[in-house]
Amino acid sequence: MALSINEIKSSMTILVDGQVNIVLETQHVKPGKGAAFVRVKIRNPKNNSVQEVTFRGDEKIEEAYVEERKLQYQYLSGNMYYFMDQENFEEVAISENNIDEKKKFLKDNLEVTGYFYKHEILNILFPNFVEYEIAHTEPGIKGDTAKSGTKPAQVETGAIIQVPLFIDVGDRIKVDTRTGQYVERVVGR
C-alpha cells in the first residue's frame, strides 16, 4: 500500500530503493515557500546501516509488511545457523552474516524473534536477558580490587563476560545480550 508523506511514523517499515527499512525518526517540514517535505532517519535491518532520506510532498512511499516469528535455535552447520519455527515447526536456515556478533550468545533451544519480509529473513532479535552457566574462570582472590572487582569468565557458549570476583565455575549468571554485560547471579535453579 502506498503511503503519503503525512502517514510516515516512527517504527514503521518502508521500502526505500527496494530495501526494507525501519523508520527511526521523522521530521515534517512545511517551509514558508515551496512544498512540504519529510526528513526521515531509517535503519536497514539487514546491515544495521542508518541513513537520512527526504521525501517530497507528491511522493508515494511503499509500506513493507514485516512478519514476526518465534524461532528456537537448533544447531550450527558450516556457516548456517538452523532454527525451528515455533508455529509450523519448519526449519529456518540463517547465514552467519544475518546473526553478526550476537552469535556468541546462541545456545541450544534459545528462543529468538525472527523478522521476515516475503519469506526472507531480515534480522533476528535476541531476548534482552539470557541465563548462562560459567564454563571457565579464574578463582577470585579475596581482597583483590585492583581490577575494580571484575574478572573475565567464559560462559557455556564460549563468550567472554566480565563478572564479579565471587562468580565461580558452575554458577549461573544473567547476561544482557544487547551489551554483553553481566547483570546478576541466578540463584536456585
Q: What pLDDT was estimated at residue 32?
A: 83
pTM to 2 decimal places? 0.75
Q: What pLDDT was estimated at residue 127?
A: 92
Q: What pLDDT was estimated at residue 145?
A: 55
List the one residue out of 60, 82, 61, 63 whose CA is nearest residue 71.
82
Phi/psi zone of residue 6: left (φ > 0), alpha (ψ -120 to 50 degrees), beta? alpha
- Say yes or no: 91 and 111 in one domain: yes
Q: What pLDDT was estimated at residue 52?
A: 93
Q: What is the mean pLDDT of residues 82-95?
A: 91
pLDDT tens-digit readout, 62-79:
988 989 999 999 999 988
- Say yes or no: 118 and 74 in one domain: yes
Q: What is the mean pLDDT of residues 78-107?
A: 88
Q: What are the DSSP calls for 103-166, one per residue?
A: GGG--TT-EEEEEEETTEEEEEE--SEEEEEEEEEPPPPTT--TTTTEEEEEETTS-EEEEETT
189 has a pLDDT exceeding 70: no
- Say yes or no: 151 and 178 in one domain: yes
20 has a pLDDT exceeding 60: yes
- Say yes or no: 142 and 160 in one domain: yes
Q: What is the mean pLDDT of residues 86-103?
A: 85
Confidence of residue 173 (pLDDT cuts 50, 70, 90): very high
Domain CATH for 31: 2.30.30.30
Domain CATH for 146: 2.40.50.140
Q: Which residue type occupies 29?
A: V
pLDDT tens-digit readout, 113-154:
988 888 888 888 889 999 999 999 988 666 655 556 788 999
Q: Which residues pair with 91 in a beta bridge?
A: 84
- Say yes or no: 107 and 140 in one domain: no
- Say yes or no: 168 and 145 in one domain: yes
Angle (CA) 68-74-76 rounded to 5° is: 110
- Say yes or no: 8 and 56 in one domain: yes
Confidence of residue 1 (pLDDT cuts 50, 70, 90): low
Q: What is the mean pLDDT of the chain?
A: 87
Domain span at residue 55 reads 2-63
List the one residue out of 35, 63, 40 whose CA is nearest residue 53.
40
Last residue of a domain, one of 35, 63, 91: 63
- Say yes or no: 77 and 112 in one domain: yes
> Looking at the 3D structure of the chain, how many domains does it have?
3
Last residue of a domain, one of 77, 100, 125: 125
Confidence of residue 3 (pLDDT cuts 50, 70, 90): confident
- Say yes or no: 89 and 136 in one domain: no
